[in-house]
């Protein structure tokens, strides 16, 4: 395992809700996410009329706890890294010119993992065969984690 891990939006929410890194099998010193996964988490929590797998996680919390969880998403803790598209734009384009055909979420995740020398961790809900196959071709580690 590397010293860094790039987590998807489901795992990011679990961490922000207080799940221990060891409980998620993520003991690395550095936790990172991508801008698009972060945006997807923000979008999932911003509209209280939409109920999905992430927003449902807040529904059982007392209102002060739910507000605190949303505040931790809005003000992402400084110890969670996010690589800027300023750094990832070109590496993402290179992945495409190398023959990969992936959506932007997957391209950003793989480019971030390469830049950080990190493993990609996906929640079971985000299992993505195309991303896993592409990561294997790039010799990047992808792990699925039960949340």
Q: What is the pLDDT of residue 56?
A: 67
Residue 130: other Cβ atoms inside 10 A: 12
State residue 103 phi and psi, 5-degree precision.
-75, 170
Answer whether 0.95 is exceeded by the pTM.
Answer: no
Strand partners, 81: 32
Q: For residue 79, give the DSSP letter.
A: T
- C-alpha closest to that of 8 among 115, 109, 114: 109
Angle at alpha carbon of residue 41, lines to 15 and 53, rounded to 5°: 85
Q: For residue 60, give the DSSP letter.
A: T
CA distance 98 to 100: 6
CA distance 16 to 44: 14
Residues 6+ apart with CB under 8 A from 103: 130
Q: For residue 29, give the DSSP letter.
A: S
CATH number, domain 4-145, options 3.40.50.2000, 3.30.479.10, 3.90.79.10, 3.40.50.1010:
3.40.50.1010
DSSP 3-state assignment of 55?
Answer: helix
One digit per residue, the tens of pLDDT, for the chain of length 147 reads 458 999 999 999 999 888 888 888 888 779 999 999 999 999 888 876 666 666 666 667 777 877 888 888 889 999 999 999 999 999 999 999 988 889 999 999 999 999 999 999 999 988 899 999 999 999 999 999 988
Strand partners, 107: none
Q: What is the pLDDT of residue 47?
A: 73
């Amino acid at each position: 395992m590397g010293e860094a891990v790039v987590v998807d939006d489901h795992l990011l929410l679990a961490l922000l809700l207080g799940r221990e890194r060891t409980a998620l099998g993520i003991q690395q010193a550095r936790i990172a996410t991508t801008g698009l996964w972060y945006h997807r988490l923000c979008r999932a929590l911003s509209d209280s009329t939409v109920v999905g797998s992430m927003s449902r996680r807040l529904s059982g919390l007392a209102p002060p706890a739910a507000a605190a969880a949303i505040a931790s998403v809005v003000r992402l803790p400084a110890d969670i890294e996010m690589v800027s598209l300023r750094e990832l734009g070109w590496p993402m384009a290179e992945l495409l010119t190398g023959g990969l055909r992936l959506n932007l979420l997957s391209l950003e995740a793989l480019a971030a993992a390469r830049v950080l020398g990190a493993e990609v961790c996906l929640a079971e809900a985000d299992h993505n065969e195309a991303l896993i196959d592409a990561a294997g071709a790039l010799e990047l580690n992808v792990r699925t984690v039960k949340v």
